[in-house]
Chains A and B, each alone.
Chain A
Amino acid sequence: MLELLRRNWGISALTALGAGLLALVPLFGSNYVLSLFIVLYANVALATAWAFFSGATRYISLATAAFFGVGIYTLAILHVYVSIPLAVVGAAIVGFLVALVVGLSTLRLRGVYFVVFTFGLTELVHQVLNWWEIKINKTVSRYIFTDVSNVNIYETLLAVTLITIVGSWYVSQIRLGFALRAIGEDETVARHTGVNTTRVKILCFALSASVMALVGAVLALRYPYIDASIAFNNTWSFQVLIAALLGGAGRAWGPAMGAVPLVLLSEYLAGSFPHHFSIALGLCFVVIVYFLPGGITRLIERFLHSLKAARAGMGGHG
């Protein structure tokens, strides 16, 4: 880890500086700015966690909402009994465990079967939870009473987001990251070169899910009232996928590049055209797939590459 930091000291220093500045935002920002940043961080963390598994392995998951919702409900249930930090950590653990069980049974599905299954998973968890609440707990909703301030939520989500991005980058530099990419490229070859593909897939699916549950739990601190359809809202699954693809799922910092403009755009669209919001989002998706298959990261890298080439060319002639 230290060796990796030393080799990438420039970007590490920049990241640390950026994180420091962002941590100071609550000192100056209004409540609206803080809320906007909270939504931004949540989307960036979710998209990064999604790309960590689905971007590398190309097992396209639509289960983001399922794990996000599991996090919300875990917090809602636990916060009555234990302290908030413990409840948040508990949510991450429950998310991890749920994904472990789901992964064991489903990661042998490939392609569109996996996509459809993960989409169905959200609905399954949603309905099971609904049944459990109504039949066993005789309720359809829950209230979350906390005195956690917006500033605390802001700083927590900032930390979660940074850890997710840095963690995702770190994994991409070690054997586990190579294994993930190899699975995405050709799972048969990965298997025959000694990669324990089943274990790698399940572990990383669960890691990704635990971040999603964690984000759900932290965001839940802002909702006084929740029910199953709020917690398991499929929009999260799609929005996160679009953000990751727009940014470029091949780099740890890619999903952030997509999530930030997408959230700002959604914010603008939802404010200006509340009734046509989902049409606009759908159009964005079409445009991304057709015109930006490599995402924004590919554009940036191409630009940097041509800049370098131009500079080298000038040096050669001068």
Chain B
Amino acid sequence: MSGPGDILLSIRGLQKAFGGLVAVRDLSFDIPQGKILGLIGPNGSGKTTVLNLVTAEFAPDRGTILFKDRDIVGAKSFEVCRMRIARTFQLVRVLPHMTTRENVMLGRMFGSAPTVPAHAAKEADALLDRVGLKPRAGMFASQLTYIDQKRLELARALAAHPELLLLDEWLAGLNPTELKIGIDLVRQIGREGITIVMIEHVMEAIRALCHRVVVMNAGERIAEGTPDSVLSDPQVIQAYLGGSDAAA
């Protein structure tokens, strides 16, 4: 069993190309258990591809992904989920013609500890309460607002009882009040011992939440460290302004 401080996820020499475009190039980083890691970088720098490689949406060309010291490259997406790695999607993906409750039940029924619908429903209600969606449990997911659909995705991911939670721009598009609620929610989830990797452009959230930050540009890691040190790094600033991409 892994305890606090042990490395939960270790990525080594990860590489993925789509045709001639190398989306992720020789990427390595570690996440200790119970920490929140921010994955930042300009659009197209390969952040979402990293998430898709970890959750086996794509197979890497090279490299290893060690989860609790076990190489999970080659596992199927559903097996990765059952190992207690859950995710949200950059472009929010809910099951539109299923109710809010059923969406969350799905996460519980097929995750690491499969259970029957009746039991999953009870747990789904508790999770919906937690993300503030309980009054809309019976609505179709397609009827929810954008923000509520994001909440629903988080509840669905949590329903799988994850040890590692991957959030892909989960805080994007929120207004200031919602952002504050969202940050508090992620912080609380982190305090419960769930390790989190969050791709994010909202720097306020990165500073507030992340223990460490990995910065990517053009598929490569260009910086890593605490949020404050990384965000004042000239190379990182240049990457965000587009300097190095234009030069490449």
CB distance from B48 to the nearest CB of A (A): 13
A179 to B117, CA, bound (A): 11
CB distance from A203 to the nearest CB of B (A): 14
| B6 contact set on A, CB distance < 8 A | none
Closest B-chain residue to A185, C-beta based?
Answer: B95
Cβ–Cβ contact A193 & B55, under 8 A? no
Q: Which of B78, B80, B160 has the most chain A CB atoms inside 10 A of its CB?
A: B78
Q: How many chain B residues touch A (Cβ–Cβ < 8 Å)?
A: 30
B62 at the binding interface (Cβ < 8 Å)? no
A285 at the binding interface (Cβ < 8 Å)? no
Interface residue ranges of B141-174 to A (CB < 8 Å) = 156, 160
| A76 contact set on B, CB distance < 8 A | none
CB distance from B245 to the nearest CB of A (A): 29
CB distance from A8 to the nearest CB of B (A): 13
| B102 contact set on A, CB distance < 8 A | 178
Proximity string of chain B (116-147) to chain A, C-beta cutoff 8 Å, 1 when within and 0 when not: 11000000000000000000000000000000
CB distance from B118 to the nearest CB of A (A): 8
A75 at the binding interface (Cβ < 8 Å)? no
| A191 contact set on B, CB distance < 8 A | 76-78, 81
Interface residue ranges of A154-200 to B (CB < 8 Å) = 173-175, 178-179, 181-182, 185-186, 188-197
CB distance from B184 to the nearest CB of A (A): 25
Closest B-chain residue to A181, C-beta based?
Answer: B98
A185 to B57, CA, bound (A): 18
| A185 contact set on B, CB distance < 8 A | 95-98
A73 to B80, CA, bound (A): 43
Knowing A185-B97, A185-B98, A188-B57, the reply to whether A193 touches B117 (Cβ < 8 A) is no
CB distance from A179 to the nearest CB of B (A): 7
A-B contact pairs, 8 of them (CB 8 A): A175-B109, A178-B117, A181-B95, A189-B89, A189-B94, A192-B78, A192-B81, A193-B81
Given contacts A175-B117, A186-B94, A192-B78, 5 further A-B contacts (CB under 8 A): A178-B109, A182-B106, A193-B110, A194-B107, A196-B78
